[in-house]
Chains A and B, each alone.
Chain A
Amino acid sequence: MWKRIVTTSLALYIPLLIFSLFWGYLQKDSLIKNMGEIQQRNILNKSYHLIDQSIILIKITSFWSDVTFNESFSKENPLDSVFISNYIRTMQGLDVYDQFRIIDIHGDEMLRYEKVDKDSMAPAPLQSKTDRAYFQKGLTLNKGQIYVSPIELNRENGVLETPHKPVIRGVTPIFANNDNPTGLAVVNFNMGKIFDLMRTRITGDNFYLLDKNKNVITTNLSNNTLPHQSRMSPLDSSIKKRLELKKLIFSRDTFFMENGSLWVYQNVRTGFEKDMGMKRYADMPDIVTDDDWAILQEIPHQYIRQRLQPIRRNLILFNALTLIVIAIIAMVYARTQKERKNFLEQLKSQKNALVKSQSQLNESNSLVKNANERLRVRNRQLEDFNYVVAHNLKAPVSSMSIIVDMLSKPNNQDTFKELLPKLETISNSISTLTEDVQTYVSILNNKELEVENVNLLLLIKEVENDFVGTLLNEEGKGFNTIYNLDAWHSVKCSKFYMKSIVQNFLSNAIKYRRPDVDSHIIFESAWENDKKVLYVKDNGLGIDMERHKESMFKLYKRFHRSHSGKGMGLFIVKSQLEAMNASIEVESEEGVGTTFKIKFHKI
């Protein structure tokens, strides 16, 4: 029963399990894709902060490439104070605007304004920037070209300013009336605020702004900006290590799963290159830069797991429900099957019982039939007995009554002498009759007949030996006993009766043989209608069947006047056979022989 339930459950459940896992996988895939797309939009938004600042920087810087300076412009002969103070007053309202400088072609600052407070800028002591990369780069620019520097930590007098300040610089060459290069105008933007904006999270995501060498410019995991330009803290090192991603070899926009996290990488489209086809800088001067930025968003393992939680929960819930339903179905199915099996078995056993009772009925029918047959035989035997008694006993009695009647009349002495011996004859015949009747009654009354398997061959041989002396007649004709007991040779019967029967047959065959021929008696066994049959054939005198058919097995019947006999033999044979539930028939022809057929019914 349990085995059947488990098998049925599995057969139903496994396809559903596979289906649900596939469904789960699809859900997860689409969720990750969805998260990736959200992060792509997020990256795009963050890019705009950078791009906006870059546009502003470029536009503000390009202002200076259009200003014409006096040929006499120098430290000693500076710009018109009203012009510059107006410019500074305008610019100091711009949050990101950090420094403005004019550097001569030797690298010495000629003018320097620094942001000193939130809304105010002030002149500051001049420095030399001869060895700074942005100064060197600026010298190579043509008129109208703008150089956008990489984002760097600000240095003053060659030393990192503390606290660290990430800056981006716009550089453009300036010219005097005679088109001689006079120096460079440099505008510094402080990117701190922008980075603060970019570091905001919309979900549990990590943000990294990378330069073209995949160095971290800023991230929301660490407070350090551009750590590789100062000193790497252990946290910064671990972050750097974290970003050594196998699937991020090329700087191409992508998103992928690695180390359990979802990574979305996208380059920042500054659009500085003119051939990008973007309209953003259509009326802009040439822009020169030697840096690229990219934004990397990481959705960490824990967050993905958290987002996948509902799917997993649904999956588990679905499977659990499915299992329960399937188990119930399987149980009902198994129970139905069992009930069906029980029902079938019940039907079968009922059928068997029916067949059995049918056969019992048949058996008892045949028993009744048998008993009926026996009763019929017994009835006939009783009638025979009655007849024998009525005739043979009444006859002498009636004779006696006549004699007595005669004797009672006045008689002479002669009559008396005559009649007296007759009474003796009567008494003798009565006593003989009584003995014979006794023999017959003993056969009829033998209720507990001793029945055994009798080997007929041995029995006949045994009887035959008793007749050794009589086997040759006066004329020297022989007498043979022939056996043909191939069909069967053993039969269940009373050995005592069977011996008496065989004795009768043998003695009759010898007694009533024809003197002029070699005589024989044949014992032949056969099967007829599943019953054992014994044929006893002789080639003796034979009997006139027309005359004697009715009397063959009756008491005191004789058929051959020439031979002495009492007329008991065949009567006894028949009675004994009937006692053993066998029957006998006879065929005979005078001068040919007699055949007895004995049919054994089951005892």
Chain B
Amino acid sequence: MKKPSILLVDDDEVYLFVTKKILNNLSDDLVINTFTDGEQAIEYMDLCMRENVKLPEVILLDINMPFLDGWGFLAEFKKMKPKLEAQNVNIFMVTSSNDPNDLKKAHDFEEITGYIVKPVFEDKMEEILTEVYNGDW
């Protein structure tokens, strides 16, 4: 079985560093990719599809980013969804704000699996991974 693949999209480099560290603490078998904005992330997804590389099962997506924000990423992702075939991609919105507008907007996207407010501590991260992989990670 292939290693679980996780995609982190956030413009906060400290967050990326810290989150990567947490994930590595949880498991050594995780494939972790990071991007600092939605545009790069969607380009990566596009590339994976074209190269027939398996897409990450978990995407932790920030909302507020330059070039293309979380919503923009979701919009683009929605467009490529028909080509995804049976691949399961769990997108978690990870944001520092518990802005009710954002929360409401998130409900309108059926692509979204969860909405997480920062900070994401180790136990929370474990919970997410357990949920996605049914403990099989």
Contact = CB atoms under 8 A, between A and B. Distances in A.
Interface in A401-421: 401-403, 405-406, 418-419
Interface stretch (A358-366, A485-493, A556-564): A556-564
A403 B18 contact: yes
Max count, chain B CB within 10 A of own CB: residue among A392, A394, A398, A405 = A398
B66 A558 contact: yes
A390 B17 contact: no
A387 B97 contact: yes
A486 B95 CA distance: 49
Nearest to A395: B96
B102 to A, nearest CB: 9
B127 interface: no
Interface residues of B, number: 28
Interface residues of A, number: 32
Interface in B5-22: 12-15, 17-18, 21-22
A391 interface: yes
A150 interface: no
A229 interface: no
Nearest to A425: B14
A422 B67 contact: no
- Give the interface centre of A386, A392, A547, A567 by most chain B CB atoms within 10 Å: A547
A402 B98 CA distance: 18
A556 B66 contact: yes
A396 B39 contact: no
A547 B68 contact: yes
Interface in B26-59: 39
A387 B99 contact: yes
B120 A402 contact: yes
A394 B12 CA distance: 11
A394 to B, nearest CB: 4
A391 B11 CA distance: 12
A398 B13 contact: no
Contact of A561 (B15, B39, B64): B39
A390 B96 contact: yes
Nearest to A557: B66
Contact of A401 (B39, B63, B119): B119
Interface in B84-115: 95-99
Given A398-B118, A402-B18, 19 more contacts: A390-B98, A392-B64, A395-B96, A395-B118, A397-B96, A398-B96, A399-B15, A399-B118, A399-B119, A402-B15, A406-B21, A418-B21, A426-B14, A547-B68, A547-B72, A548-B72, A556-B66, A558-B66, A558-B67
22 contacts: A386-B99, A390-B98, A390-B99, A391-B64, A395-B12, A395-B64, A399-B18, A399-B118, A402-B18, A402-B119, A402-B121, A405-B119, A405-B121, A406-B18, A406-B22, A418-B21, A422-B18, A547-B75, A551-B72, A556-B64, A557-B67, A567-B66
